[in-house]
Amino acid sequence: MTETQTHTSSPPKDRTRIAALDVIRGFALCGILLVNLPPIFDLGVEGGALGFYRFYEDFVQNRFFPIFSFLFGIGFGLMWLTARDRSPRPRLALLRRFAFLGVLGGLHQLLQPGEALLPYALAGIVVLLPVTWIADRWRNGITAVLGVILLVAGVAAGGGLTLIPGLFLLGFAIGGSGFIRAVLRHPGRVAIAGAIALAITIAGFAGTDYLTRQINGWINAGLGLTMALTYIVVLLLLLRTPAEAVLKSVFAPLGRMALSNYLGATVILVVVRLVAPDLARFDEYGGYLAGLLICLGTIVVQLIVSTMWLRRFGQGPLEKLWRLVTWGRSARRDQRRDQPNALTSSRE
């Protein structure tokens, strides 16, 4: 079956945005900002900085990156559900999407070597696009199995960028199957998954010391995944409490403009470094305390800007450009139908 035939025969799909994913994405964005702080400012581990450094390694480093990667896969899976309705050549459209991300990543590398967008673009082309050729009835099952295999291999390799393919494929299978919406309707199952992840995390920390976790990269990578899942579950459960309004107002705007905010945060940190290159002189903790205040200020600024921007335009500037590059004219038609203030009903 050709892509054109698929386009004409696919029934319309629901493209309503899942607000919980925006909240989690915004939360992960704040964590990634903390991760990027030490390398941008060259923060060391001397003196009082050692405690902060170990905290970063155990609770921040490789804890938010998996969340972002997993959400990227989910987003692609959700997108593929409607891609054949939005374009006569959906794979070409998604190839343009990854190519644009790769260009942004290449430019971002100039400011922050080792950033994630370029690896994401390459992994998307090499790993995600090929699985769209698997028959619909088999795709999600095969993709999930491949994702688990590659994720285990990534953990064995010590984590980091090696986790991207597995997380992408697992996310794609969950997003493409509609499983994510079913899970969100059953908080009990979410709580069980979180309890298991938390138990593994506690056991992992109780059975190892800091040096053991750093020397054995697979232990740190595995704990990073269980802690990431714990963070996700805690947020999902809090979204079913009165804290929902606060979480949505704080994290959802950041998450809806994640691409713009991710790149914008790097620009802010680089500018701050030009003004104050030596953070260590501001506190006795190697500059980590000053850095945390800078990150908090950056988050507050981005929250205010994101909230105001979304009220006026409904979509971030880079998100809109990314969408236009991906879908062309159909994106303009969809944009006209969007409601700028609808945190829970904007288009994917």
Q: What was the pLDDT predicted at 172?
A: 95
What pLDDT, on the 0 to 100 scale, is given for residue 324? 94
Q: How far is CA 299 from CA 33, 178, 239, 254, in A?
A: 9, 32, 21, 8
Q: Where are the domains of the chain?
A: 14-61+243-348
The pLDDT value given to residue 44:
79
Helix (H, G, I), strand (E, B) or coil at 61: coil
Q: Return d(Cα 253, Cα 304) in angstroms, integer.
A: 9
Asked if residue 193 lies in contact with residue 229, where contact means CB atoms within 8 angstroms, the answer is yes
Helix, strand or coil, per DSSP, at residue 283:
coil
pTM of the model: 0.87
Dihedral sign computed on CA atoms, order 79, 84, 90, 93: negative
**Cβ atoms < 10 Å from Cβ of 133:** 8
Helices (H), the chain: 3-9, 19-41, 49-59, 65-86, 90-111, 117-123, 129-131, 136-156, 164-177, 179-184, 187-206, 210-215, 217-238, 244-256, 258-275, 288-313, 317-327, 329-337
Quickly list H helices, 42-135: 49-59, 65-86, 90-111, 117-123, 129-131
How far is the C-alpha of 292 from the C-alpha of 104, rounded, in Å?
Answer: 26
Q: Residue 169 in contact with residue 147, Cβ under 8 Å?
A: yes
Whether 285 contacts 52, CB under 8 Å:
yes
Q: What is the pLDDT of residue 347?
A: 38
CA distance 234 to 191: 8
At residue 334, the pLDDT reads 57
Residue 91 CA to residue 70 CA, distance in Å, equals 21
Per-residue pLDDT of the chain (348 residues; tens, 9 = 90+): 344 344 433 334 445 678 899 999 999 999 999 999 988 998 877 767 888 888 888 888 889 999 999 999 999 998 998 888 888 899 999 999 999 999 999 999 999 988 899 999 999 999 999 999 999 999 999 999 999 999 999 999 999 999 999 999 999 999 988 787 777 788 888 899 999 999 999 999 999 998 999 899 999 999 999 999 999 999 999 999 999 999 999 999 999 999 999 999 999 999 999 999 888 888 888 889 999 999 999 999 999 999 999 999 999 999 999 999 999 865 555 555 544 333 333 333
Phi-psi label, residue 135: left if phi above 0, alpha if psi -120 to 50, beta otherwise: beta
